[in-house]
Structures are given as structure tokens and as C-alpha cells.
A and B are shown apart, each in its own frame.
Chain A
Amino acid sequence: MAPYEPEQDTNEADELSAGRRKAARYVVPLAVAGVAAATIGLVPALATSGDPDLKDITAQELIEKIAASDTEQLSGTVKISTDLGLPSFGGSGLAGGFGPGAGGGGGEGGKGSAADPSAKLMELASGTHTLRVAADGPDKQKLSVLDDAAEYSLIHNGDDVWAYDSASNEAYHSKEAGKQEGRKGEKELGKELPATPKEFAEQALKAADKSRTSVKVDGSAQVAGRDAYRLVLKPKESGSTVGQITIAVDAKTGTPLKFTLSPAGGGSAVVDAGFTKVDFGKPSASTFDFKPPKGTKVTEESDAAKGKGGEHGEGFSGVEGGGLNVIGDGWTSIAELKTPGGQGLPTSGSGADSGDVPPEAEKFLNSLGDQVKGDFGSGTVFKTRLINALITDDGKVYVGAVTKDALVKAANAAH
């Protein structure tokens, strides 16, 4: 055809045909879009299909495998999403469900350094986060929370525990130095909130009492490109809000790769934490090597302790000094707390009492919960998708991963 004419055969007298040719051109962009949509839709479906063939294993063997797993070197990416229904409540709720350090959530106020670990890790308790973990033996660990264009890293290397927040360019440093308090500090940093599937799995298995839990191996799955067994834990007794817990365990190393907690009420998982990438090789040594860059504001633990010591002390003395009383055990255990100032706000352990709360705010708070009455008097039940809490009018708090009725029953029994 002649180059100065439109790229269609205009010699053809048939106008209709020309129109059809015009229309036919638009098939190309549509086809490109269609192929792309099909690829986006099909590739993940194809990738996840085909569960690996693994030899059968009993639940007991699998649990022993987890216990015997001595994975000390690993690096990977973890995606964790938490959906408790009530984000602000969720922070202390999750910890309350899993760890005795629930009262330690006092850091949520965020006073002091932006790099303060306890405040930062609380953010993990709601929403979806991408984490990077790396570990090389018991002395070197790193946990990074990937934010938009920023990262929060928690680095444990020998005697030093560093926290670095790149968004505010602040660092937090604590020396372990083998002291008892140091150990506690480290434990607090790493273990107060479970973040990796392994920690979740350990907590869940600890909580799972054999006589009250049905444990079985439910087929296999592929997690982060590795073959894994699926271990399913289900509470036997009623009254728990936990529907089932699924743990994907790496078939070779016995390392938990994915942890999913589904609520009894159905719907999406409350906690879903799993590796999207995992590598059992030794991470490079520079990963754990942190020196605060010039101009970074460094908060030493001793400085911070002055500001936060009160709160933390309160939290811990609460736990150790008998202020916290656990009713029942296993899945339906309920924690009973006494709030310091009579009627308490739902942020357990924050020490903020509602004595000074204006009536409007109190009304609002009450509207969030359900009013209940019983032998214990009256109170308010605050609900999330997993954790429920009953705050009685005389200032007692009952918290647990149990239904509202179970909370009222516990309060009645304790009365």
C-alpha cells in the first residue's frame, strides 16, 4: 500500500469492509487486556493447585517433629494479617489471647522514642503487614516490619538489642549483658507478641490440651514453595470463639511455615501468618550488624525506662502479683483482672481509668459494647471477632477467647 495513505485498503470500495477493518484493530488492545486478565486470574490458581504428595504422618509424629525442629538459620518474608473486627481493641486483645504479657501493652501510648519496640510491635496486631525475619543461632535475630518506603527493624546481635525506625530515623538500644533484667527485656522484645508462624504455632500448641483438642493432620499444602503438612487443631468444648487453627509444617525441617486461626463464627481468618518466601541457609553476617547512622537519635533503654518504667512495672506486677487470675484452662480460659480505678476502659493495663471520662464518651463506649446483667451485677461486654471482654460495673475485667455467655458464666461463678 502507499505509505501516505491510512494503513488500510482504501482502494476497496466497500465502506462497510473498511469499517470492519477499523473495528478489527481494536481487537488487539482488547486481546492484550484479556490475556493479561487471564494470566492474573489463572497463574495463581495453577500455582496453588496440586498439593504435594507426602508420606502419611500421624498428628503425634508431626507435633514431635515440630518440637524436634532445630532450625536455627533461616531468613524469609512473612505476611501477617490480623482481622479482629475492632482494630484499636485488637492490640491488647491478641496479646491477651496468646501471651501472659498482655498487660505490657502499656506502650501503646507511644511516649518517648518512635523506635520503642513495644509500641511498634503493637501495630502488628491489626491489618496486614509484611515482615522479614532472619535468624542465625540464638544470638542473632532480626525482625523487620516493612512499611511504605520505610522499615522498622529489631536486631538482636549478641549482647545488643537495637531497634531502628527508618521513617523517623530513630534508634532504640538496650544492652543485654547477661543480666536478669536484660534477659527479660529481650524476651519482651521478641516474645511478647508472636510474629512469625513458628511463634504462633508454639503458643497454640502450648495452649492445646490433648484432652480438649482434636488434633489431626489434614493433607498437605505448598507454602512458600515448600511441601508442608497441614496440622489442624480444633477445640472440643463449646464456648470458645476459636473455630480451628491450621498450621502448615515444613515436611523436611519441621518448621511451622503458616499459621491460620479461623473464628468459630465463620468468615475470614482472624490471624493469618505465613512465610511467602523462606530460605534455610545462613543469612549474611552484615544483616545483624547495626550501627546507628550519624545524626540518628538513639534512645538508650536506661533513659527510656524512666519514662516507661512505671507503666511496665505496673503491667508486670499485675501479672506476677496476683492481680491477674486465670479462670479455667485450655481453650476456654478466661483472665480476670481488676482495674485500678473502678470501672475500666477496655484498654487493659493502660492504666487509663474512666473516672474522668465525660458522660458523652462513656455513653459512646457503652454503645460499643452489650450491656449484660447477672449474679455478679451488671457490666458491658466488648466484642471482637476473637476476643471478648466483660467489664463489670465494679471494675473487674474478664477477658478470653470465649463467647459472651461463657464470660457471664465465669463472672457469675467468680462472684
Chain B
Amino acid sequence: MSRAEADAVAGTGTPVPGKSAPAAPETGAPEAPGPAAGPASASDSGPRPVRLAWTLGLFRSELSITFRRWRTLALLAVLAAVPVLVGIAVKIETSDGGSIGGGGPDGGGGPAFIAQVTNNGLFLVFTALAATLPFFLPMAIGVVAGDAIAGEASAGTLRYLLVAPAGRTRLLLAKYATTLTFCLVATLVVAVSALAVGALLFPLGEVTTISGTRIGFGDGLLRALLIALVVAASLIGVAALGLFVSTLTSSGIAAMATTVGLLITVQIIDQIPQLHAVHPYLFSHYWLSFADLMRDPIYWDDLVKNLGLQALYAGVFGSAAWARFGAKDIAT
């Protein structure tokens, strides 16, 4: 759907209580941000709550536009299908009583935790996340983040957005927040789909951690949720990178392709042992550390490194995106 339509839908679809603020700027009346804004709102130094409501309104409208796109829904559907495929494959392979991976000194092949799936369906959550985290999830994030600014620019709607008295920084923040929300939603879609498939196909019950100790099912579910959150947080870096790339170009496709290309390049570099000196600085290097949450006691070192690295990427590329976008001439 076109931007103007979408905003119209968003404006009516998510009314801010007591205000028509989000829809107002689209009317092209920047000095009249709605009756509820109060007398001081015409100037840039309006009261704080109003600004907050504005930012939230912008965020909400962005959110509903993003999640109403067919593209986004298709990405989520693909992500939801991965655990189904993995679950069915494991079920078929083990239906004759054999174990997955066939044992042997190398252990089971395939994604992490796959050997435990037959014992406990909850492990399908971890397997599915381990299978989607290297490529599917960040690719989806790359598409959404790459589209954030460049997509608007190529559709010719960016300048209309900037007509709104929200300011470029807040538009950028709203875009980034939307991308991060998508990270969380995408991860949860994988996790919930995996949990459903795991519960249908395999038994549930007490969970054996990879350290060999046992924890209750409730505790296991809690850890699964924690893992999903950590996986979502692992994508913060890609999201910031994608947003920065998106501010560099006016072509949405180019931004998406560049982001996904960077993702693949980084993954390849991470596999080359001769380049081990740069590995700790690659955003994908500590991704699989989420598995450390399944140790008992939890091994925090790599998890902390991962989250720190993501924060660093968010800081560097987020501010780079701000620097680029704030000073950019918007021609379209």
C-alpha cells in the first residue's frame, strides 16, 4: 500500500487518546499540531508530554505500517515455517527408534541441541533459534531495516514524513524502534512456533541442561524465554547497521541487498581461521552464545560480550545513521 494510504490507516487505526496528533502533520499544517497540544506547542520547545506523545504516535504509525506489509508477513511466515520443518524432519528420522545424528565421536551434526529434541520438545525452541539465527533472522531484519529510510526515499514519501514537525532524529528513532520491535517479534514467532510444534510432536517435561543437571519444565520455559530475548538482542547490531546503510542510499532494494550482503560477508569472515584477530569484533561472532543460558550454572562471559558488542554496534552505526540522515539533502 502506498505511504499516504498507510498513514491514513495508521492514523485512524491507532488513535492516540484525546489527540489526533499523528494524523495532523500529514495534512500539511505544521503549525497546527492538534487542539490538545496546548498553546505552547507551536514553538519547538513544547511541553515534554506532548513531544513524547508525538514520538509514540510516530512509532505506532511506523509499527502498524511495517506489520501490515505483505513483505513483513511473508518473512514472518517463512520464519514460522522453519521450526515446523525441523520438527517434522527430526520426527521422521527418529520414527524408527534411532537417534538423530547417529552418534559417533563427532556428536550429532546439524544445529545445536538437535540431539535432545526427541527427549524434550522444548529443545526444538533452542534448535530452531540456533538454525535461524545465523541467516534467516538477520536476513529478515536486514530487509526491514534496509527498507526503513531508503524505502521511503524511493517511494517518494520521505519528504512528506519530514514535513511533520517530528524532526529527523525522532523519525530515525521511531524507525529504529520499529526495527527492534520486529527483531523481537520475529524471534518470538520462531520460538512460539517451535514450542507449538515441539509440544505436538515430542514429549515435554523436566529439562536436562547441557551440563547434565535437571531443571523443572517451568524453569526450562523461563530459560527459553530468556534465550528468545537474548537472540532478539543479538540482532540489535544488524538492525543498526541496516538502518545506517538505509540512510546512505535512496533505493530500498539497494539498501536491503547491501545489508544482507554485509551479513553474509561477516559470516564468511567469521569462518576463516586466519582472520581470528578480527573475529571478536564481528557482530555475529558471539551469536551462538545464547546456548550458554542452557548451562548450569549459566556461563555469562560470552553472553555479556555479545550484548556489549551489540550495544557498541548500535551506538556506532546508530549515531552514524543520525549523522548521515540529519545532514542529508532529501530530494525525493
A residues near B (Cβ < 8 Å) are: 1-4, 6-8, 21-22, 25-26, 28-29, 32-33, 36, 77, 110, 113-114, 119, 130, 132, 144, 146, 148-151, 153, 155, 162, 164-170, 276, 286-287, 289-291, 293-297
Contact = CB atoms under 8 A, between A and B. Distances in A.
Interface stretch (B1-9, B113-121, B141-149, B184-192): B113-121
B327 A295 contact: no
B101 interface: yes
B317 interface: yes
**What bracket does the count of chain B residues touching chain A fall in?**
35 or more
B108 A4 contact: no
Interface stretch (B60-68, B160-168, B230-238, B259-267): B160-168
B103 interface: yes
A146 B299 contact: yes
Given A7-B169, A114-B104, 7 more contacts: A3-B30, A25-B322, A77-B301, A110-B104, A114-B105, A293-B116, A295-B119
A33 B316 contact: yes
B320 A26 contact: yes
8 contacts: A6-B328, A29-B320, A149-B288, A151-B210, A168-B107, A291-B214, A294-B120, A294-B205
Contacts of B332: none
A25 B44 contact: no
A168 B108 contact: yes
Interface in B210-265: 210-214
The 4 closest A-B pairs by CB, nearest first: A167-B107, A149-B112, A110-B105, A149-B291
Nearest to B168: A7
Contacts of B163: 4
Given A6-B168, A291-B214, A28 B291 contact: no
Given A3-B166, A168-B115, A32 B316 contact: yes
Nearest to A36: B312
Contact of A8 (B104, B212, B327): B327
B7 to A, nearest CB: 16
B320 A8 contact: no
A294 B119 contact: yes
Interface in B174-218: 203, 205-206, 208, 210-214
Contacts of B167: 3, 7
A323 to B, nearest CB: 27
A32 B311 CA distance: 11
A26 B323 contact: yes
Contacts of A22: 327
B319 interface: yes
B162 A4 contact: yes
Contact of A29 (B214, B288, B301, B319): B319
Contacts of A114: 103-107
Contact of B30 (A4, A77, A276): A4
